[in-house]
Amino acid sequence: APDIPLANVKAHLTQFQSIANANGGNRAHGRPGYLASANYVRGLLDAAGFTTTLQSFTYNGATGYNVIADWPGGDPNDVLMVGAHLDSVSAGPGINDNGSGSAAILETALEVARQDLNPTKHLRFAWWGAEELGLRGSQYYVNNLPAAERARIKGYLNFDMVGSPNAGYFVYDGDNSDGTGSGPGPAGSAQLERTLQDYFTSIGVPTRGTDFDGRSDYGPFISVGIPAGGTFTGAEGIKSSAQASLWGGTAGVAFDRCYHRSCDTTANINDTALDRNADAIAYAVWTIATATPPT
């Protein structure tokens, strides 16, 4: 699997910050900074050879958008989706939440194109609108999938907050082996969890499970029985002393002190965490989508 260039991922974050700066300080649903973010992502994907769709929906009297990007080829009956929410809260530019996941999957998609990857599975990337208002864009997408299309989606990988400044290395606990509360996800979620864990094991970074309770855009997918997985570096939760011993950083301080605040800027990113997670995404995409025979 490729090493995703951190500098490229960070260049996308700089663009998201500039978009927020030029549009009242945020990239929130219904605000001009959101559509500008969607157009930025879509323009790069179109130029790279993806087939893109801007799916619009209405929520709270405003139009929202999902950007959907299909990489031509692969088995149309065996689709792997990879997604991240592109909207911020209205309080700030949303660079860790979730410029980080948006930029990391964008650069993974662009790497697919640079390599002209010929996966066994069909690859589809998604940037969701209005997550911050209750997973509205991803819920709209899943609700409006024809039954036959829904049945073709064999897995969904979600990335929401993957560059937290006081990072933890969390993998969604799809098999509930950490007993984080909501029970195991759809069969197949455990395998997605293991694949992500395998990457961190390969670089010597310990991981821990985190709630698989639907608190991000994988929720609508698992609700209809689609296996899902993903990583997370922590939000408003406080890093424990055991976690600081495991991962470094500062015990007694939030993983992201700027969560949902105006200070969630390009300064609010842990480069090491962002680099490791971008590389984990690429590892999972390459491992799952190019497997022969398909898994």
Q: Rule CB under 5 A: which residues touch Zn ion? A: 97-98, 160, 173, 175, 177, 209
Query: Residue 94 has which token pair?
Result: 């949303």
Site string for Ca ion, 243-282 (x = CB under 5 A): --------------------------------x---x---
Closest to ligand PHE by CB, 132 or 279: 132
232 binds, among ligand PHE, Ca ion, Zn ion, none (CB under 5 to 8 A by kind): ligand PHE
Name the burial class of residue 252, with classes exposed (0-12), middle (13-18) and buried (19+) by CB atoms within 10 angstroms of its CB.
Answer: exposed
From the candidates 131, 132, 149, 236, which is the catalytic residue? 131
222 binds, among Zn ion, ligand PHE, Ca ion, none (CB under 5 to 8 A by kind): none
Closest to ligand PHE by CB, 52 or 88: 88
3-state SS, residue 76: strand
Q: Does 273 bind ligand PHE (CB under 6 A)?
A: no
DSSP alpha helices (H): ranges in 22-164? Answer: 32-48, 101-114, 136-143, 147-152
**Residues contacting residue 30 through CB under 8 Å, at least 6 positions apart:** 59, 60, 61, 62, 63, 64
Interhelix angle 271-289/6-21, nearest 10 degrees:
110
Return the amino acid letter for 176.
N
**Minimum distance of Zn ion from residue 216's CB (angstroms):** 6
| Per rule CB under 5 A, count of chain residues that contact Ca ion | 4
**Minimum distance of ligand PHE from residue 172's CB (angstroms):** 8
Q: Are 277 and 159 in contact (CB under 8 A)?
A: yes
- Binding ligand PHE (rule: CB under 6 A), the pick from 152, 194, 208, 215 is 215
Please, which of residues 230-269 interact with ligand PHE by CB under 6 A?
232, 235
Candidates 232, 244, 283; CA nearest to 96 is 232
**Minimum distance of Ca ion from residue 111's CB (angstroms):** 10
Interhelix angle 101-114/271-289, nearest 10 degrees:
50
- Binding ligand PHE (rule: CB under 6 A), the pick from 26, 52, 216, 270 is 216
Return the amino acid letter for 258.
C
Q: Which residues carry out catalysis?
A: 131
Binding residues for ligand PHE, per CB under 6 A?
97, 131-132, 160-161, 215-216, 232, 235
